[in-house]
């Protein structure tokens, strides 16, 4: 079966490229959580900075699904989840530790950035897992239906569907469900009108980026398949 | 090979474990770069918040080296470099983008935390390179003086002094030179006293950690090997 794998001492080229993709995926995922608290305006819509980096995770899972298959894509999603939990725990510990007076950054700035509401973490975790698994499943399903042709259909359709689900879950858990169940009278769930506005805004932007990434996924899968020496049927 | 056959291959348990270990390594490494500018007090020591997370990267790297060999461990180092550069780029972009007026996290906090990131990444690379050169040079020097005897002596001396260079250079670049360059706004360099204090404290902690690391790596290797039945 293995015929055209380029011989390289140590790891096979396909393995190396997989690790590069996996690294970009993990880095994007962590950054997404860390920079989520800063919002910017994009044509009047308030958007979280995480929208700058979150789309990378979808580009990578699409490329991995296309070249390396469903098993590897699932492995990546699972790894991302484990790493997220560990990172969240470490951030929580770092936030609790007493600060030194000589610290270059003060405790207020640190806790403003990392004192994440449990609802936000919970929401993005559940949203992330659901969305990524759905993305991978739809991608594979469409690949079978279209008999391996028309990458752009599965790439865009899987991402657009999963991003919608992700956005709805995150916004609902973080701003509606959590304020209702946390027993804190200071936190109020947002109204459905605000909810729909945030969901629409985030989704439009994510959807736009998802469409823009199509040529990127095409070029990448073509190059990687050629580079690691597998023939596209 | 046909794409169909290639895609149908299942990664083995050992490969899965490797990906998860690399993921953890990258997660801890990136997080360390982000949180390390908060100085904390543990007992009488003033340490960086990164001091409690960074050692795990060494344990993970040692475990990967031991279970999967040198090549796969080297790959992890390159991936760490790639992920660090990617993070520097993204956080720089997120930092300079104009903020929304009702943003949950204010620009002041964001700028303070991420303003240091490029200096931290740069500092850790430069410090690493110089520390490695010092390590190799000292190793050779001690080998000549002792006429090739006492391996443990040159091993320990070169590592201990190499680490001291690493700590001092890193703290100097990350929290003194980088803020002085003025490429990111709103951050202040630390004083010489603070630099001295953090270098000495971190160094002591690192030396202490090298001893803790030994049982951690032994247990880690045992658990990973048992898990992948290697």
User: In which band, very low, low, confident or very high, does the pLDDT at A119 lie, cut at 50, 70 and 90?
Assistant: low
pLDDT at res. B86 = 95
Judge: A97–B49 Cβ closer than 8 Å, yes or no. yes
For A138, the enclosing helix (H) or strand (E) is helix A118-145
Min Cα–Cα distance to chain A from B157, Å: 31
Residue bearing tokens 């303070």? B112
Q: Among residues B120, B125, B118, which one has the least CA distance to residue B78? A: B125
Q: Which two tokens stand for residue B196?
A: 């001295």
Judge: A87–B27 Cβ closer than 8 Å, yes or no. yes
DSSP output for A154-208:
HHHHHHHHHHHHHHHHHHHIIIIIHHHHS--TT--PPPHHHHHHHHHHHHHHHHH
Q: Among residues B57, B49, B93, which one has the least CA distance to residue B76? A: B57
- Give the nearest chain B residue to A111 (CA atoms): B109
Residue A44: count other Cβ atoms within 10 Å of its Cβ. Answer: 6
The string over A201-221, giving b where at least 16 C-beta atoms fall within 10 Å of a residue's C-beta and e elsewhere, is bbbebbbebbeebbeebeebb
User: In which band, very low, low, confident or very high, does the pLDDT at A116 lie, cut at 50, 70 and 90?
Assistant: low
Kindly tell me the burial class for residue B31, based on how many C-beta atoms sit within 10 Å of its own C-beta (0-12, 13-18, 19 or more).
buried
- Which residues 42-81 of chain B have a CB within 8 Å of chain A? 42, 46, 49, 52-53, 69-72, 74-75, 79
Judge: A40–B103 Cβ closer than 8 Å, yes or no. yes
pLDDT at res. A170 = 82
pLDDT of A8 strictly over 50: no
A154 vs B contacts (CB less than 8 Å): none
The string over B57-95, giving b where at least 16 C-beta atoms fall within 10 Å of a residue's C-beta and e elsewhere, is bbbbbbbbbebbeeebbebbeebbbbbbebbbebbbebb
Q: Does B1 touch chain A (CB under 8 A)?
A: yes
User: In which band, very low, low, confident or very high, does the pLDDT at A122 lie, cut at 50, 70 and 90?
Assistant: confident
| Weakest mean pLDDT among A4-8, A65-69, A188-192 | A4-8
pLDDT of A15 strictly over 50: yes
Nearest Cβ partner for A100 among B6, B41, B52: B41
Min Cα–Cα distance to chain A from B68, Å: 10
Judge: B49–A94 Cβ closer than 8 Å, yes or no. yes
Nearest Cβ partner for B87 among A11, A31, A106: A31
Sequential pLDDT tens for chain B (230 residues):
677 778 778 888 889 999 999 999 999 999 999 998 899 988 888 889 888 888 888 889 889 988 988 888 889 989 999 999 999 999 999 988 888 777 777 888 888 889 898 999 999 999 988 988 888 888 888 889 888 888 888 878 888 888 899 899 999 998 988 888 877 777 888 889 889 989 999 898 888 888 888 888 889 999 999 988 76
Handedness of CA B114, A88, B169, A100 (dihedral sign): positive
Cα separation of B24 and A49, whole Å? 24
The string over A173-193, giving b where at least 16 C-beta atoms fall within 10 Å of a residue's C-beta and e elsewhere, is bbbbbbbeeeeeeeeeebeee
User: In which band, very low, low, confident or very high, does the pLDDT at A7 lie, cut at 50, 70 and 90?
Assistant: very low
Query: pLDDT (tens digit, 9 = 90+) per residue, A148-187?
Result: 778 788 878 888 888 888 888 887 887 778 777 766 665 6
Residues 6+ apart with CB under 8 A from B160: B207
B37 vs A contacts (CB less than 8 Å): 103-105
A102 vs B contacts (CB less than 8 Å): 39, 46, 190-191, 194, 197-198
- Complex-level ipTM: 0.87
Q: Does A86 touch chain B (CB under 8 A)?
A: yes
Min Cα–Cα distance to chain A from B149, Å: 33
- Give the nearest chain A residue to B51 (CA atoms): A94
Min Cα–Cα distance to chain B from A119, Å: 14
Q: Which two tokens stand for residue B107?
A: 């620009």
Cα separation of B174 and B121, whole Å? 8
Judge: B113–A94 Cβ closer than 8 Å, yes or no. no
Q: Does A96 touch chain B (CB under 8 A)?
A: no
pLDDT at res. A118 = 59
Query: pLDDT (tens digit, 9 = 90+) per residue, A95-108?
Result: 888 888 888 888 88
Cα separation of B187 and B139, whole Å? 39
Kindly tell me the burial class for residue A34, based on how many C-beta atoms sit within 10 Å of its own C-beta (0-12, 13-18, 19 or more).
buried
Name the average pLDDT for chain A. 81
């Amino acid at each position: 079966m293995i015929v055209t794998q380029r011989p390289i001492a140590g790891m096979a080229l396909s393995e190396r490229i997989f690790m590069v993709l996996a690294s970009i995926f993990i880095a994007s995922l962590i950054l997404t959580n860390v920079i989520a608290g800063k919002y910017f305006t994009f044509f009047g819509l308030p958007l979280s900075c995480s929208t700058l980096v979150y789309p990378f995770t979808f580009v990578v899972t699409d490329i991995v699904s296309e070249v390396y298959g469903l098993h590897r894509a699932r492995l990546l999603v699972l790894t991302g989840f484990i790493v997220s939990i560990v990172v969240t725990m470490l951030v929580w510990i770092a936030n609790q530790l007493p600060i030194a007076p000589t610290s270059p950054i003060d405790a207020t700035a640190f806790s403003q950035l990392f004192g994440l509401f449990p609802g936000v973490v919970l929401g993005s975790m559940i949203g992330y897992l659901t969305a990524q698994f759905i993305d991978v499943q739809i991608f594979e399903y469409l690949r079978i239906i279209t008999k391996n042709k028309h990458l752009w259909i599965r790439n865009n359709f899987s991402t657009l569907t999963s991003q919608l689900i992700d956005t709805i879950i995150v916004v609902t858990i973080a701003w509606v469900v959590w304020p209702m169940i946390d027993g804190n009278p200071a936190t109020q769930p947002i109204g459905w009108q605000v909810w729909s506005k945030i969901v629409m805004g985030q989704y439009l932007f994510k959807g736009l980026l998802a469409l823009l990434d199509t040529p990127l996924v095409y070029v990448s899968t073509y190059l990687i398949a050629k580079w690691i020496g597998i023939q596209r049927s | 090979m046909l794409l169909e056959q290639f895609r149908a291959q299942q990664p083995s348990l050992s490969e899965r474990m490797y990906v998860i270990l690399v993921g953890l390594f990258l997660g801890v490494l990136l997080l360390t770069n982000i949180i390390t500018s908060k100085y904390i007090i543990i007992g009488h020591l003033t340490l960086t918040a990164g001091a409690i997370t960074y050692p795990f990267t060494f344990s993970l790297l040692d475990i990967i080296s031991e279970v999967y060999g040198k090549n796969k461990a080297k790959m992890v180092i390159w991936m760490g470099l790639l992920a660090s550069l990617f993070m520097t780029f993204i956080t720089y972009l997120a930092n300079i983008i104009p903020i929304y007026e009702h943003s949950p996290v204010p620009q002041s906090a964001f700028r303070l935390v991420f303003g240091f990131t490029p200096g931290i990444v740069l500092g850790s690379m430069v410090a690493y390179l110089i520390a490695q050169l010092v390590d190799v040079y000292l190793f050779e020097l001690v080998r000549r003086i002792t006429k090739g005897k006492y391996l443990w002596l040159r091993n320990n001396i070169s590592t201990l002094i190499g680490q001291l260079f690493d700590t001092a250079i890193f703290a100097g670049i990350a929290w003194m030179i980088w803020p002085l360059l003025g490429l990111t706004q709103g951050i202040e360099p630390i004083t010489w006293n603070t630099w001295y204090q953090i270098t000495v404290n971190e160094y002591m902690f690192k030396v202490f950690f090298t001893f803790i690391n030994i049982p951690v790596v032994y247990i880690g290797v045992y658990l990973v090997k048992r898990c992948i039945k290697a």
